[in-house]
Amino acid sequence: MGAFFSKFKVFGIVLLVISAIIITLFYNALKPEVKLPIYQPADFNTELVDSTLLHKKKYHTVANFKLTNQNGKTITQDNYANKIYVADFFFTTCQTICPVMTKNMVKVQEIIKNDDDVMLLSHSVTPEIDSVAQLKKYALKKGVIDSKWNLVTGDRKEIYDLARKSYMAAKTDLNNPYSMVHTENFVLVDKEKRIRGTYDGTDSKEIEKLIEDIKILKASYKD
């Protein structure tokens, strides 16, 4: 009798294991695939969007650009071709949100430093101050990896247009219409130059979400 119940016990355990495997497979098969939205200018706070784009609801992509990085190298969209990247706006003499943003971008850099699909791009909003030499000094101080992260300077109008018309990451300075107030936003851009997410670059939880969203976006290219 004992042997019978012993065999029944083993059978029951095997049945439970098989049932658990089947349930897991069904759950994974039925679980909806997580996809990131594709953001358009009309999805953003109007304060961040150039007036010419306020009602644009389709086909928005980041414009082509030509800027100069911390090594004096010309950086264009070609350097980010077929790449996922995170963009932001900062300036090296900023003493408020920029140090926190840079610290958090360094965290992202650490995660993606061996990932050939992902890069970083930080635009100076004070290009007249942030020369190549100044950017290089800042890059060295913060531990920027040149192959992963470009700190760029260049024509003020071009940078302003990128912030307002491409990334929706800056507000107009009401006291100076030819200047701007950059936000703390990190912007996730896909391989087609479309915006797939924005994140508070000063918030550690938002940075965790950004890192997870990068993984989701990468996985979408494997389908």
* Residues placed in the known binding site for Cu cation: 94, 98, 182
Q: How far apart are CA 66 and CA 152, in angstroms?
A: 9
Q: Which two tokens stand for residue 149?
A: 């992260």
Q: How far apart are CA 127 and CA 4, in angstroms?
A: 82
* Residues placed in the known binding site: 94, 98, 182
Q: How far from the centroid of its chain's Cα atoms is residue 17's Cα?
A: 41
Q: Which residues of 50-75 are buried (b: 16+ CB within 10 A; e: fewer)?
A: beebeeeeeebebeebebbbbeeeeb
Q: Exposed, middle or buried by CB within 10 Å (0-12, 13-18, 19+), for 198?
A: buried
Query: Given strand 149-152, what is the order of strands in its sheet?
Result: 149-152, 118-124, 84-90, 185-189, 195-200
Residue 122: helix, strand or coil by DSSP? strand
